[in-house]
Structure 1
Amino acid sequence: MLGHFGGCRRAREGEIEDRGGITDPQLYASQFGVKLGAFRDQGLDVTIENFHAGGSKSAAGAGRRFDRRDSRLPESRHSDAGAGLAFGKFLELATSDKIWQAVAAACLTYVGRTMIDDIDKALDWEGHRLDCALCEHLALSETGGCRLKHACVNERCPGSIERFFERNPDLADGYLSHPHCEVRAIAAKFAKVSLLPSLINDPNEKVQWNAILRLPRSYALQLRKHPRPELRRRVATLLDGEELLSMASDEYYYVRLVVASRIEPILLPQMMNDEEAEVRRVVARRIPNEWLLGMIDDRDASVRLEIAQRLSVQVVSLLQHDPDWRIRYEVASRAPMAQIFSLVHDPHSLVREVASSRIAEDRR
């Protein structure tokens, strides 16, 4: 009796369990290209003769076919999205029953080939095939200092480049001017610090960042006006106090967000009127108490809520007529008893409830 994988229905000693999905073996075979032959497993004869990669016609067209007993696998690329969907379905269900392991094996073999096709070819950053015989570091391969597709400075894979420098940190100095930015960036993590200042003006921000992380803070100050906002944001995380003042008016709000969270609280008043509510919320959480009243009329309710939660019991009632019920709720919860009577008739039930509850408790 033929079984099928992908939905799937299992036939075992006359018992059929329907798992949903495709319930006809022939339909499955035509749609996903898995042909079941015969081998014996718990009373059911099953054999995988071939595997059709490519999924359904709607997903990936005709796809490609190979016999799992044939070592000559077809060339493929992982850009075949339909095949990827079919593989995912195969793997999801194949491992749940021993009877489908043959399908999983065929699938894994093909997927493995599909996904590592390019990795099998050691390529440099320009896409050229590498030849160890032509490498100046050939001698290192004999001592374990490098290995193609694992620890190689000439490969385009960042992990391989990093492993090379981990094994050979003394060689990093010579790669700080390499044409590939990934090599320069990783070399900056291992090279002598005295050589890193030249990388401050590197055209690649990853190279600049790796250099900044190891240089004195004075070098980070030079990048506060860098044209790339993401690098400015990172630089802001390294600075404190007045060093951040010039960045408090940065054109990108996420740079100002970092500044507002790190600058000295006494310097925050200049950011009270920032155009972004997220920035003002951070300001409202950190600004000195004497400045809180200056933000009770903020145009954003979330900012006013931050202020209400920080105001003292004596002055929080100033917000009892706020249009946002969350702020009135804060007032009803904390304001002096004499100032919450009007909130018993508040439009919002939660505000009325907390005000009434406090008044009733006070009268007992």
Structure 2
Amino acid sequence: MGRAVAFEDNAFEDNLGAALDWKGRPVRCRECDHQAINAMGLCAKGRACIRDRRARRVETFLRANPELADQYLDHPYFEVRAGAARHATVFRLAPLLDDPEPEVRAMATLRLPAERIRDMIHDEDIDVRIAAASRLTGADLVPAIRDEAYMVRITAVRRMPVEMLPLVRHDPDPEVRAWVARRIDVRALPDMAFDPDPLVRREVAGRLPPDPLRLLVEDSDMRVRFTVAERLAEEDLFALLDDEEPAIRELARTRIEAVPELAGRLADHTGHDGAAVVAFPAPHDPGKET
């Protein structure tokens, strides 16, 4: 059946309590059907035990004995069924899509072929729908973009084809729209430049090409303008020399000064305080006189 497994000591886990089964009764190895593998070191009470009520101990047992998982897919304790679903033969998992426990349905959804789990995108449990959205592709994800749970929508947005993303750019949740801004075709990004949430606009500013990026030079949020100052073409940065934020003015000035053909124009620019910006000559060095 395999060689003995050295289970890691885990003082925290061992201190969580006695080894009890799912009904709260003490686990007794002599009552178990797996005494043979216990003798081989493939299970250990309190660490790796299929009868223990703690999911971690069940999982440790199944990792050491994956060939036994199939026989536990109909166990009355849902933690055992969920653990078994993680290791069992895929061909045995389809009935678990109707399991009363969402944790079991989610695990089956994560492992079964995509064509078998299309209906799970409509499951009553959020975690199951997230699992389905993480597996489905293309048109099968359309129901997910209308899901009431934003995490389902985010999961779908991170996987759906780029050409479908315009359908989600007006999602009510800014985190979803931010993911759209990270992935949508750059040709569609200008339409998101005036999103009501600054964090979405910052994502837009991080990807817009130079010309449409000028749309955000006067954005109300300094984080957006700072991103603009980092990416805007140097010849367009003069508009940011008057920004109300010193860090943005300094960044714009530093980038302009790095371009010799633009640096001279700084002397003619009126600064944030209304005074002309003067380009001072280098300090006098007598040693260079001839």
TM range (shorter): 0.7 to 0.9
Are residues 189 and 332 of structure 1, via their aligned partners in 2, closer, same or farther at CA, if it must alter by over 3 Å? closer
**Residue 58 of structure 2 aligns with which residue?**
161
**Residue 245 of structure 1 aligns with which residue?**
142
> What SS class does the counterpart of residue 104 from structure 2 fall into?
helix
Alignment map for 1:307-346 (pairs within 5 Å): 307-332=204-229, 334-335=231-232, 339-346=236-243
Unaligned runs of 5+ in 1: 1-111
Are residues 187 and 308 of structure 1, via their aligned partners in 2, closer, same or farther at CA, if it must alter by over 3 Å? closer
Q: Which moved more, 1:342-351 or 1:268-277?
A: 342-351
How many angstroms apart in 2 are the aligned matches of 1:326 and 1:139? Answer: 64
Structure with max Cα Rg: 1
Are residues 331 and 143 of structure 1, via their aligned partners in 2, closer, same or farther at CA, if it must alter by over 3 Å? closer
How many angstroms apart in 1 are the aligned matches of 2:141 and 2:240? Answer: 43
> What SS class does the counterpart of residue 327 from structure 1 fall into?
helix
How many angstroms apart in 1 are the aligned matches of 2:28 and 2:121? Answer: 43
Aligned-partner residue type, residue 172 of structure 2? E
Alignment map for 1:7-156 (pairs within 5 Å): 116=15, 118-119=17-18, 122-138=19-35, 141=38, 147-156=44-53
Highest RCO, 1 vs 2 (Cα 8 Å, sep ≥ 6)? 2
How many angstroms apart in 2 are the aligned matches of 1:149 and 1:349? Answer: 61
Are residues 127 and 349 of structure 1, via their aligned partners in 2, closer, same or farther at CA, if it must alter by over 3 Å? same
Alignment map for 1:228-267 (pairs within 5 Å): 228-267=125-164
**Residue 189 of structure 1 aligns with which residue?**
86
- TM-score computed with the length of structure 1 as normaliser: 0.59
Which structure dedicates a bigger proportion of its chain to strand?
Answer: 1
User: Residue 353 of structure 1: CA displacement?
Assistant: 3.2
Are residues 223 and 345 of structure 1, via their aligned partners in 2, closer, same or farther at CA, if it must alter by over 3 Å? same
User: Residue 334 of structure 1: CA displacement?
Assistant: 4.8
How many angstroms apart in 2 are the aligned matches of 1:245 and 1:303? Answer: 22
**Residue 179 of structure 1 aligns with which residue?**
76
Aligned-partner residue type, residue 248 of structure 1? I
Q: Does 1:297 align with 2:191?
A: no
Aligned-partner residue type, residue 113 of structure 2? P
Which structure dedicates a bigger proportion of its chain to helix?
Answer: 2
How many angstroms apart in 2 are the aligned matches of 1:258 and 1:185? Answer: 22
Aligned-partner residue type, residue 127 of structure 1? G
Aligned-pair identity (%)? 37
How many angstroms apart in 2 are the aligned matches of 1:223 and 1:266? Answer: 24
How many angstroms apart in 1 are the aligned matches of 2:216 and 2:47? Answer: 64
Unaligned runs of 5+ in 2: 1-10, 265-290
> What SS class does the counterpart of residue 153 from structure 1 fall into?
coil
**Residue 215 of structure 1 aligns with which residue?**
112
CA deviations over 1:58-102 (Å, ceiling 9, x no partner): xxxxxxxxxxxxxxxxxxxxxxxxxxxxxxxxxxxxxxxxxxxxx
**Residue 166 of structure 2 aligns with which residue?**
269
User: Residue 359 of structure 1: CA displacement?
Assistant: 5.5
Please provide the CA RMSD for this pair. Answer: 3.0
User: Residue 267 of structure 1: CA displacement?
Assistant: 0.8
> How many pairs were matched up?
249
- TM-score computed with the length of structure 2 as normaliser: 0.72
